[in-house]
């Protein structure tokens, strides 16, 4: 069966009129193209990264070095996706993302630019390693959630750290038994 990509218009999950460059905390999830499990395996409830998974981890960690206004928090690389918490502090003060609109900043400082840069760096390194230029590694988009308070932050931290233990139930796991009710 050949590769099939849906070409329908996707509904945006972004908050209308929200400035994703403003200081705050964000939870992101990035999935592999066609949700292929290429970054390693879950063994005894722990993620075991392969060489491709190590590239993802290393590039994620570089994000804070390349962008001085970014601080990384909890993250996990899973077999076919990764989750991470990003704090943006352009004004030098970490705070939770407000829900009101502020004046827009450079697109280079948005959460979208951060994720695009990460995805691009991972794709380049993996394709160089495999000698396969132009092969997609990631799905076209990503998921983000604006973290608004300590309870939200702590719940997401727990979700990330617990992700390998719940892999057998994860909707991103292609081996999870699905039933139509």
The pLDDT tens digits for 130-140 are 999 889 999 99
- With CA atoms as reference, report the closest residue to 123 among 111, 115, 135, 112: 135
pTM of the model as a whole: 0.79
Query: What integer is the mean pLDDT of 153-159?
Result: 97
pLDDT tens per residue across span 41-88: 999 999 999 999 999 999 999 999 998 889 999 999 999 999 999 999
DSSP letter at 90 equals T
Q: What is the C-alpha separation between 140 and 126, in angstroms, rounded?
A: 17
The model's confidence at residue 17, banded by pLDDT at 50, 70 and 90, is: low
In the chain the domains, ranked by start, together with CATH numbers, are 24-165 (3.30.70.1290)
């Amino acid at each position: 069966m050949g590769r099939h990509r849906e070409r329908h218009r996707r509904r945006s999950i972004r908050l209308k009129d929200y400035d994703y460059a403003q200081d705050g905390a964000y939870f992101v999830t990035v999935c592999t193209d066609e949700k292929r499990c290429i970054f390693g395996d879950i063994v005894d409830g722990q993620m075991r990264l392969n060489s491709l998974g190590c590239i993802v981890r290393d590039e994620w960690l570089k994000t804070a070095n390349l962008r001085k206004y970014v601080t990384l928090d909890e993250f996990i690389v899973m077999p076919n996706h990764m989750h991470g918490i990003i704090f943006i502090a352009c004004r030098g003060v970490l705070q939770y993302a407000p829900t009101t609109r502020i004046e827009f900043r450079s697109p280079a400082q948005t959460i979208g630019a951060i994720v695009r840069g990460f995805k691009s760096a991972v794709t380049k390194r993996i394709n160089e390693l495999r000698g396969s230029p132009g092969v997609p590694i990631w799905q076209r988009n990503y998921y983000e959630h604006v973290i608004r308070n300590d309870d939200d932050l702590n719940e997401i931290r727990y979700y990330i750290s617990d992700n390998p233990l719940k892999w057998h139930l994860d909707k991103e796991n292609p081996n999870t038994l699905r039933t139509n009710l």
